[in-house]
Amino acid sequence: MKKGKIFFHPIDGTGSLTISWTSVPKGDATEADKGSGVGFFSEEGNLLAVIFDEVKERQDQQILDFNKISIEVMVKAGKVKYIIVNKPSKTVPIKRRPRKKISISK
């Protein structure tokens, strides 16, 4: 994934923080399962952009947790960094039954 563009213009010490990885139209927002903000995803499920609500200007750390991905933003001394974590898929392993030996007698 290419480097995202960060948009952060706080007023009175806080504001929304947007990270965008593409300039294409974003469509409908998806509310985060955990955290205060929304994400925008392509039809294939690729992350297009996120918006964090009420990020503190000087120092803050927040996580937006979605179904398959988490995005963490850190603000320290006014500098913004982010980390993207892809969650492992929740596939159920197939349980294999032991093979039975069959003997045929004549």
pLDDT tens, residue by residue, 70-80:
999 999 998 99
- The backbone torsions φ and ψ at residue 82, rounded to the nearest 5 degrees and listed phi first, read -140, 155
Residue 50, pLDDT above cutoff 80: yes
Residue 21, pLDDT above cutoff 70: yes
Q: What pTM was estimated for this model as a whole?
A: 0.79
Residue 24, pLDDT above cutoff 70: yes
What percent of the chain shows pLDDT beyond 90? 66
Domains of the chain, residue spans = 5-86
Q: In Å, how far are 1, 95, 104 from 65, measured between CA atoms?
A: 18, 30, 57
Q: What is the pLDDT of residues 82-106, one digit of tens each?
A: 999 988 876 666 666 666 666 566 5
Q: What is the DSSP secondary structure assignment for residue 13, as one 8-state letter? A: T
Q: Which burial class, exposed, middle or buried, applies to 47 when counting CB atoms under 10 A from its CB (0-12, 13-18, 19+)?
A: buried
Backbone conformation region of residue 41, classed left if phi is above 0, alpha if psi is from -120 to 50, else beta: beta
Please report, as a single letter, which amino acid is at residue 22. Answer: T
